Structure formats: C-alpha cells, structure tokens
Amino acid sequence: PTRVRMLGRAIAALTEAGYVYIGMDHFALPDDPLAVAKREGRLHRDFQGYSTQPDGDLVALGVSAIGRVGATYSQNAKTLEDYYA
C-alpha cells in the first residue's frame, strides 16, 4: 500500500481504539493534555512536534541538539569528536 493509504489505516485503527488524532503522526488519549489542547484550540506546533505550550527559547545540550532563541535556530556539532573540539 502507499504511504497515504498506510497513514489512513493507522488513523482509522488508532481512532477506533479510542485515540484522538492530533495531527501528522501524533495521537493521544482523550484526556491527555495534547488532546484537550486540540479540542480547546490551544495546540501549538514547532520543529519538535505538537505542544500545549506556546513557543519559547530552547537551550541545546548534547551532540546534534537543536536550540532556538527568539527566531534563531542553531544545531550543535553532529559528531562526538566535533562536539568536544
């Protein structure tokens, strides 16, 4: 099956099992904070996925970590050797 068809089947199976489709590839139980935020129109999305909180600054710690301050994104070195250099 195509990827779109597989996604459709996954959405159907998970929603039939009681999960709420949050978006893209995210699902949550109805009382989960993500599902509540979606119902109430308070759901936020950034490069890391869905969140109940609006955007905020993010400090990157570790190899390949991605951080953001304001509108500026940065990514740490992708190898341990370069990270420690």
Count the Cβ atoms, other than its own, within 10 Å of residue 11.
Answer: 14
The separation between the first and the last C-alpha atoms of the chain, rounded to the nearest angstrom, is 46
- Tell me whether residue 48 is in a domain: no
- Tell me whether residue 10 is in a domain: yes
pLDDT band at 55 (very low <50, low <70, confident <90, very high): confident
Count the Cβ atoms, other than its own, within 10 Å of residue 34.
Answer: 20
What pLDDT does residue 22 have? 97
32 and 66 housed in the same domain: no
59 and 85 housed in the same domain: yes
pLDDT band at 40 (very low <50, low <70, confident <90, very high): very high
Secondary element (H or E) of residue 64:
none
- Tell me whether residue 60 is in a domain: yes
Structural domain boundaries, residue 2: 1-42
38 and 59 housed in the same domain: no
Q: How many structural domains does the chain have?
A: 2
- Tell me whether residue 67 is in a domain: yes
